[in-house]
Structure 1
Amino acid sequence: MIQWGYGGGYSGATNYFFSTSFLNTYYSISMCAEYAVTAESVVLCPYINTKATTYFKGGMTYTSGNVVYPTSWKFFWIAIGRWK
Structure 2
Amino acid sequence: MTTLRYHDGQDVRLGDQIRWGDSGTGAVVVMIAEQTALTGYIATEWAYLQEGCMIEVPAAGLFHYSAEGLQHDANLELILRTDSGS
TM-score scaled by length of structure 1: 0.29
Q: Which has the higher strand share?
A: 1
Question: Which structure carries more relative contact order (alpha carbon 8 Å, separation 6+)?
Answer: 1
Compare CA radii of gyration and give the structure with the larger one: 1
